Amino acid sequence: MTYVLNARERAALNQLSLKRDAFLARGQLEIGRGNEALEALEKLGLAETGSATRFADRIGWRITEDGWRCMYGKTYAEIMAPGAPPSRPLEVWSWPPAKM
């Protein structure tokens, strides 16, 4: 069964993609990026938790390779590979990703 991300999950995943290697603490995320959206992304395997990069005493979230697949249908390495054509986000962000 395919799960389509809602607007809040999509916005949270997009924000996590802007700092792809960093674990962002809750306070570093824009207002409206609630725990429910982050927890849903984590349950789907699209985001992971760890010690926050700037605030080691807090939990942070970052995008996973599956998060990139959800957004682009490719991993970050595939998107950035030398000679790879420019990639655009998929119109529908779902897990597993929709066929292109």
Q: Kindly report the pTM of this predicted structure.
A: 0.89
Residues in the chain: 100
How many CA atoms within 13 Å lie on the side-chain side of 13?
A: 30
Residue 83 falls inside a structural domain: yes
- pLDDT tens digits, 62-84: 999 999 999 999 999 999 999 99
- pLDDT tens digits, 26-51: 888 886 667 899 999 999 999 999 99
CATH code of 18's domain: 1.10.10
Residue 100 falls inside a structural domain: no
Helices within the chain (DSSP H only): 7-18, 35-44, 65-72, 76-80
